[in-house]
Amino acid sequence: MTKDHENIWLANLGMNLKDRRKKSMSSEDSEGSAMAPSTNTLGLPLIKQAIAELYRMEEDYNVYYGGISNGLLWPALHNLPEYIVHDYDSPKLLRDHWCAYVRVNYQFAIDAVRNSRPQDFIWIHDYHLMLTGMVMQSLDPNLEVGFFLHIPFQPPENFFTKYVTCGLPVLRGLLRFTKVGFQTHRDRAKYLELVQQHLKGVVINHDNTMDIDTVTHEGWTCSLGVFPVSIKNDDFLKFVHMPESVVKKEAIRTKILGKDPPKGSRFFFSVERFDYTKGIKEKLVAYKRYFEKYPDRIGKDVLYQVAVTNRRSVDTYRVYQDECIALAKQITEAFKDPKRPEWKPLVFQTDGLPRPELVASYMAMDIGVVTPKKDGMNLVAKEMLICNPQAGLILSTGAGSETQFTTSGLYKEDGEKNYHRVSDLFDVEAYADTFYRAATESVSIRAAHGKRLSDFILSNDIERWSAAFLDPSWTHQVIRPTQVNTLEDFFSLMMRTRNVRRQIVDRVLKGIPIRQHFMISIKNAKESLENSSGSDSHTLVLRASQDSPDTAKFDIKNELDEFEKDLSFMQYAQSEDVDNVEQFVDWVIKQFRK
């Protein structure tokens, strides 16, 4: 996806729209028409910028991002209602801030449509922009707009009562995208449960073959899929293979464990944003209990915790961060080793690590600790095992990556367990025991488990993730392969085919490229007829109805020939062989005279 130069990224590069407007007006005369985009004879843009700037009103942006997005939507969708900012108990403030969220989404949607072409697929990301699909479809119902939610979708029940001002619009807004992707099956299932509970007249269908849900509501249809996000492996592996990374790795191990650490010493490593969803406080409580319960580990093991400070302007973040820092100091002061006075049980850091240092730390660790309360996926777990396939992993069930690993057979209750699972962050005794099991696991077993996880991550990278989401074959717009057994099946298939053909003709006449899913639909329709006709590929025997013994025979040779012409036409229309309109018309005449 990132290598395609046809892609365009919309980025918010500033907040003061007024200043931007003044700047635009002052530069208008000097730039003139030279800055106008190149278009074809139909007025469609031929060239797009790689990045398009988006500017917001500062007062709106502050309450949109620092206010309702991070003060309400973030904790609510993680099902952590105790961290919702209490200011939103006020219906008036909630309404005012929600209006700012709507305005920013509206402006973003307008900018996206303005920078798009009719042939484009628009892909929106994350909880800040859940209403953009609704706005875009209102501006142009022919747009194809996808949405991917990077965080969990597990709102508490009072999200649709106490916070109904934004709760119901979020449910409805997501249904106005062409397709929506979730990180896990549990998030999609929760969304569907809430849609059925709170929206009237909704119709939901599940396709077992594709594992896709189709939801129809108020005349709009949306497809819902599950696509666990991953990392760009090469971005990390290129550092792993650098000789200087090995030098840094050894330096970091010495810095954390000390010189000549006792045999069996273990280097635990955690890195995340300093966020209450990451379970840092619960981790520190369990780590403290670990040394109390297993004093033989004192002087051996060290947890290197990197918690990158962010969002301190939000009260709930600031209080949480201060509590964690105080707890970290308690741990450092509580455990000493007289034989190794330089040893510290915990190294706590609030500054981020540059990529080379981060990768070297992954390479240096013995065991990665990734134990969020709730997380959409948590890519740190994947980064760790890509950089260090011999490492052990402690992983909580709150991480979407744990759900993906379990679904893929990497953790079996009655079989092989390739990582150490933390099921309940508040079960301090069990959590401390998990630290101990990870620390005392043999190096060979740990390496075997790490290798299996690493191999899985290598084969499921970010390119595969983006290709799966962008694949045009899985939405409701596509005619799926089907068995044609009755007259109703046949006429339904041909009606859907007719609609696809009309869209093809409409786009060709307007000079707009044909969408990929048109060809997929025609191919599937053709194959459906062929597979349903038996040994004689031209005769289709159909029952009058599902329950009727009466049958009718159809000669479908003409239909199959027309499908061949459709496919040939689309291949030619999308090829590099078309140089001008006259050539195109001449080819069409010759084809359809046959």
What are the tens digits of pLDDT across the range 66-103? 899 999 999 999 999 999 999 999 999 999 999 999 99
| Matching fold, domains 9-226 and 233-460 | yes
- Report DSSP state, residue 481: P
Of 231, 230, 184, nearest to 407 (Cα)?
Answer: 184
CA 528 to chain centre: 33
Joined tokens for residue 411: 């953790």
Q: 125: part of which helix (H) or strand (E)?
A: strand 121-125
- Report DSSP state, residue 546: S
| pLDDT by 10-residue block (mean), the chain, 594 residues | 64 53 46 39 41 62 89 96 94 96 93 87 94 93 93 95 96 97 97 97 94 96 96 96 96 96 97 96 98 98 96 87 98 96 96 97 98 95 98 98 96 94 98 98 98 97 94 93 92 94 88 88 94 80 86 90 90 74 70 64
> Counting every residue, how long is the chain?
594
* Residue 327 main-chain phi, psi, to 5 deg: -65, -40
11 SS3 class: strand
* Residue 577 main-chain phi, psi, to 5 deg: -80, -15
Kindly provide the b/e burial profile for residues 442-476, where b requires at least 16 CB atoms within 10 angstroms of the residue's own CB. Answer: eeeebbebbebbbebbeebbbeebbeebbbbebbb
Widest Cα–Cα separation across the chain: 95
Distance CA 171, CA 184 (A): 17
What is the pTM for the complete model shown?
A: 0.86
Distance CA 127, CA 152 (A): 10
Distance CA 517, CA 319 (A): 50
34 SS3 class: helix
Distance CA 38, CA 44 (A): 8
Domain ranges of the chain: 9-226, 233-460, 478-593
221 SS3 class: strand
* Residue 535 main-chain phi, psi, to 5 deg: -65, -35
| Alpha helices for 335-427 (secondary structure H) | 355-364, 380-387, 400-407
Amino acid identity, position 47: I
Query: Which CATH number among 3.40.50.2000, 3.20.20.300, 3.10.620.30, 1.10.3720.10 corresponds to the domain 9-226?
Result: 3.40.50.2000
* Residue 365 main-chain phi, psi, to 5 deg: -70, 155
DSSP lists the bridge partners of residue 552 as: 542
Fold of 478-593: Methane Monooxygenase Hydroxylase; Chain G, domain 1 (1.20.58)
CA 493 to chain centre: 33
Kindly provide the b/e burial profile for residues 234-268, where b requires at least 16 CB atoms within 10 angstroms of the residue's own CB. Answer: eebeebbeeeebeebbeebbeebbbeebeeebbbb
**What confidence score (pLDDT) does residue 27 get?**
44
**What confidence score (pLDDT) does residue 58 get?**
72
- Report DSSP state, residue 274: S
* Domain spanning 233-460: CATH superfamily: Glycogen Phosphorylase B; (3.40.50.2000)
